Amino acid sequence: SAVISQKPSRDICQRGTSLTIQCQVDSQVTMMFWYRQQPGQSLTLIATANQGSEATYESGFVIDKFPISRPNLTFSTLTVSNMSPEDSSIYLCSVGFGQGGTGELFFGEGSRLTVL
Amino acid sequence: QKEVEQNSGPLSVPEGAIASLNCTYSDRGSQSFFWYRQYSGKSPELIMFIYSNGDKEDGRFTAQLNKASQYVSLLIRDSQPSDSATYLCAAIGSSNTGKLIFGQGTTLQVKP
């Protein structure tokens, strides 16, 4: 398992601004992912954060809107750029372990963003 | 068609009963399946995973997989009020390079 710390835990943001979410893991991990959970919905994968290279984005998510950094094996950031109310959501950092690799995920506590 | 489908519920069972949570998936090549539990306002936590056809038991929890029917289930025996949560079924597909795809989750209510 791993201890995953996310900051901020919550924030209220103004339309058009950007916010960076930090994810710190207490051990080195290969697989790190960013998910979004919109109100009342399940989890949607935004991207895989790759150490030392550009993140791999899922369909519907683009780097200009959700730039991701992964400078080392314990840390990553997700920026939500030029926010609109539709970006109001919980953003979750997760890491993968075990035989299942990407399936056995541990999640941070999430960052709840409200965009006004 | 969604890749992983669940009935959103809520599923309500009395305390002590067996709760049966069901999930179907569309990608016949999926090999790995996972059940996560999410309490309100909290992050998901892994309960069980299953890779092979049949049953896998862990305490009060049993995961069942039927690849021919593309069906996964989670049974919770002796349900407790503390089991009340949303249960997320997830799968790793054959063509998505190991990414985990979640269903919409089933909300379980265990009534004392």
pLDDT digits (tens, 9 = 90+) for A28-74: 988 889 999 998 888 999 999 988 888 999 999 999 999 999 999 99
Return left, alpha or beta for B98; rule: phi > 0 is left, psi -120 to 50 is alpha, else beta: left
Q: Which residues of A are less than 8 Å from B32 in CB distance?
A: 100, 103
pLDDT at position A102 is 58
Nearest neighbour of B43 by CB, restricted to A48, A103, A110: A110
pLDDT digits (tens, 9 = 90+) for B16-49: 999 999 999 998 888 889 999 999 989 999 999 9
Over pLDDT 70: what percentage of chain A? 95
* C-beta separation of A77 from A20 below 8 A: yes
CA distance A92 to A112: 9
B 35-54 near A (Cβ less than 8 A): 36, 42-46, 49, 51
pLDDT digits (tens, 9 = 90+) for A88-106: 999 999 998 765 555 688 8
* C-beta separation of B43 from B33 below 8 A: no
Q: Which residues of A are less than 8 Å from B87 in CB distance?
A: none
CA distance B42 to B19: 21
